[in-house]
Amino acid sequence: MGAEHTAALWAAVVASGLYHGANPGMGWPLAVSAAMFERRAGALLKALAALGVGHLLAMLVVLAPFSIIASLAALQIQIRLGAATLVIGLGVYLLLSNRHPRFLQRVAPHRLALWSFLVATAHGAALMLLPIYLGLCAVGAPDAAHAAAGQLMREGVLQAGLVALTHTLAMMAAGGVAAAAIYYWLGLRAISTVWINLDKLWAGSLIGVGAVAIALAV
């Protein structure tokens, strides 16, 4: 696999981050609320940073363990198929279920990072990244016959961190633009018009990502 394939995977990392950030369910309205409540623009950036920290941790919790598993180069295809199946399974579950954890419906401003972590985890945000990350591992990993597992693990952990960070920065950029537009220009009333229930679209996107990952793995 060449540079074009690698570039496409990194583009998918950024695109998924922008998609997550634009989704109101990932928290940017809470950043607007915090800024309005404290009546200062600095609170907007502080809230966005907290949301970003929580989202980043949620990505790492899922990707980091797989960085170790991915070092088993001989099982690359099986691992990627298993991860893709997991993503599709979660997508199907979210598509059929309308239930949401009640403890995620209310959040204090000082708990935004924890809320962001829990929401991203509950919605499978990191699982959407997993097939993309494993594809990057397959592209960048050296020949298993000439590399120690320890080296592959180290490279995998660094790759996981870079993927999670790149994705989170894109998420914060998209969410920040939306939050700033509401706070500075459109006002809180605009949230009622721009808020779109993306739950079913989110579930469908998980299934789509998993299906593409299976096609690429085989």
Give residue 104's pLDDT. 45
**Mean of pLDDT values over 94-122:** 71
Domain ranges of the chain: 3-217
Range with lowest mean pLDDT among 78-87, 141-150, 181-190, 194-203: 141-150
What integer best gives the mean pLDDT of the chain?
78
Give residue 62's pLDDT. 86
Distance from C-alpha of 206 to C-alpha of 208, rounded to nearest angstrom? 5
Residue 165 has pLDDT above 90, yes or no: yes
For the entire predicted model, the pTM comes to 0.78
Q: Where is pLDDT greater, at 209 or 15?
A: 15
Residue 95 CA: distances (Å) to CA of 8, 91, 98, 157: 27, 6, 8, 32
Q: Which amino acid is at 113?
A: A
Distance from C-alpha of 87 to C-alpha of 207, rounded to nearest angstrom? 7
In 3D, which of 5, 62, 2, 54 has the Cα closest to residue 31? 54
Structure tokens at 166: 């790149």
**Mean of pLDDT values over 87-106:** 69
Report for 13-22, 124-133, 203-212: range of highest mean pLDDT: 13-22
Distance from C-alpha of 23 to C-alpha of 16, rounded to nearest angstrom? 11
Compute the residue count for the chain. Answer: 218
Instruction: Give the DSSP per-residue string, 171-197.
Output: HHHHHHHHHHIIIIII-GGGHHHH---
